Structure formats: C-alpha cells, structure tokens
Amino acid sequence: MSALRTHNDTWDIATSVGSTAVMVAAARAAETAGPDPLIRDPYAQLLVAGAGTGVWEMLLDEELVAKVEAIDPEVAAMYHHMRNYQAVRTHFFDAYFNDAAASGIRQIVILASGLDSRAYRLQWPAGTVVYEIDQPKVLAYKEQTLAAHNVTPAADRRTVAIDLRQDWPAALTAAGFDPAAPTAWLAEGLLMYLPAEGQDRLFDQITTLSAPGSRIAAETAGNHSDERRQQMSERFKKIAAAIGLSETIDIQDLVYHDDDRADVRSWLDEHGWQATAQSSTAEMRRLNRWVDVPMGEDEDAFSEFVTAVRT
C-alpha cells in the first residue's frame, strides 16, 4: 500500500500525485533542449516554470546534476536514467497515437492527463477530438498556463474534470464521447497510482466503452523490493539535504505496491483485446538511451509498454 494515499485524496499541480506531472514535464523539457532529442515538446518548459513545486523545476539545472554526481554517482545515474526513460516513454506513446490516427481513429482519451501536451503538439488529422481526464485543478493549471502564452490545441480538446475513482465514464459521455466510435486510449504514468482493484476496475470501464477496433496503450507499474525502495529513499534524502532542498517528494510514498496486481497484457488478452508488450528496458537500449543503474538486472523493477486492439 501507499504510505500517503487515501481513497478520497485530491491534489493540485504542486502537491501529491499532481506534482509528479511536473517531474515528467521537466524531463520532457530537458530532452527537448538537449542535443538530438527523441521528442520535441515546446510547451513543457512553460508548464514547469509556473508550477511552484520547488523541487522538480530543479531537474532542469545542470549545475545541480553535477552536485549530485559529486555526492553519489549511483543516484546521479538514476537521475539520468529517469530523464532518458521519460523521453523514451513519450516517444513510444507519441508513435502509438500517430499510428492510431493513421488508421482512421479520431477519438482520443488521455487518462490522468496531467501536463501531457499532446493535444497541443501532435499533428492531429481534421476532426480529431482529444478528451483529457484529470483532477479539476490540474486541468485548469495547464489550460490557463498555455492560454496565457497564446498556445492553442491542435485538435478539438475537451476536458473532463473528474477523479478516475469517481463515475468518469458518465462525465466523459456527457462531454460528447461516443462509445460506438473506435477510440485510442492512453494510461501513461497512471497505473502505479491505483491499487490493484482500481486498475482492474479502470480496464473494465475502458473495455465497456470501447467499440471494436479501439486501441489502448498503457505503461505498467514496475515492482521494486521493499529493501531497495528504502535504500534509495534514504540516499535521496541525504542528497536533498546536502544540496539544500528542504522538502522532497518520495514518489514511492505515492504509489501502491500491490503484489497481486494483474499483468496488464494478460488481463487485456482475457477480456476481448489482442495485446502486445514491449519491455521499456529493451526500448531504451534500442534507442541508445539506456543508463546502467543499480537495479538494472531486475526486469521486474521496470515497466512494460502495452498496446492492444479491441476485437
């Protein structure tokens, strides 16, 4: 179980699960600014700059990275690994959406969208509707921040401001979603923040709403040992104190560590989908973005990228 989560917790962009969206956006911003980027997100920096978390914005500070490397090279390697992982993950799911659009799908649903900017930055075909589901304050922050910089969506973007633990299918349908039309769904950076039964319920709801030919993509939850989580938490706290960060967010306190969590590919195959899974470590190596980290040989510690088609 998570140390900090409750069944009715909520957040904005600067707290709890919401703040992890800033971490992801910071990684996208760093990738975009780097040499030969895998992805280009011109809006990530804008979204990070105004978030006010006081922690994740520092991921963009290369001097900070140098300080971490001097204190603990292994933790610095994990930092570089995380940035590369986010770039590879974004690259994979960008390609998924491009393929879905090329197949004729014009209805997109991004679950727990956070600071995802795909509705703004991908080249969507005419007639595409992108639904973003997330907490009301998270959606409001993104929309207001980008509007203030005159950034407009590249598709018909419709927000559904609701917690995924509530009746989001009804809210999605009320926003214009058509269950009879093929849909491309995305659950990226989400499943680890749901308990095992919540993950099953989410996929049940998606399946009910999915017409034949619909697609889904999901990032699975990696599984670190309790001992490993504790070791890394202590090391990160020591580094935070050494470089002057008064408050740090331990992501492991926000995720659910459920040993009985269903295997996503198997669940989908058994419930009317035809699924495939790609190891994130293999994808990182394929794109020359792998960084050796202490738990690098433990495949269970890393996610899979699962895609499926509704039969």
> Burial of 161 by CB count in 10 Å (0-12 exposed, 13-18 middle, 19+ buried)?
middle
Please give the average per-residue pLDDT across 139-147, as a whole number: 95
Residue 109 lies in a domain: yes
Residue 56 lies in a domain: no
Backbone angles phi, psi at 220, to 5 degrees: -80, 170
Residue 46 lies in a domain: no
- Work out the pLDDT band at 13, boundaries 50, 70, 90: low
- Per-residue pLDDT of 25-43, as tens digits, reads 999 999 999 999 999 999 9
Please give the average per-residue pLDDT across 64-83, as a whole number: 80
> Burial of 149 by CB count in 10 Å (0-12 exposed, 13-18 middle, 19+ buried)?
exposed
Q: What is the mean pLDDT of the chain?
A: 87
The number of residues in the chain equals 311
- Per-residue pLDDT of 42-64, as tens digits, reads 999 999 987 766 566 666 667 77
* Dihedral sign from CA coordinates of 42, 47, 49, 54: negative
Domain of residue 228 covers 104-310
Residue 241 lies in a domain: yes
Residue 65 lies in a domain: no
Q: Is the pLDDT of residue 124 over 80?
A: yes
Q: What is the pLDDT of residue 266?
A: 98
Kindly state the percentage of the chain with pLDDT values over 90.
Answer: 64
Residue 137 lies in a domain: yes
103's CB contacts (< 8 A; 6+ apart) are 215
Q: What is the pTM of this model?
A: 0.89
Please give the average per-residue pLDDT across 262-283, as a whole number: 97
Residue 29 lies in a domain: no
- Work out the pLDDT band at 73, boundaries 50, 70, 90: confident
Q: What is the CATH number of the domain that holds 247?
A: 3.40.50.150
Q: What is the tally of structural domains in the chain?
A: 1
- Work out the pLDDT band at 20, boundaries 50, 70, 90: confident
Residue 139 lies in a domain: yes
Q: What is the pLDDT of residue 2?
A: 47
Please give the average per-residue pLDDT across 115-133, as a whole number: 98
- Per-residue pLDDT of 283-301, as tens digits, reads 999 999 999 887 656 667 7
Q: What is the pLDDT of residue 180?
A: 98
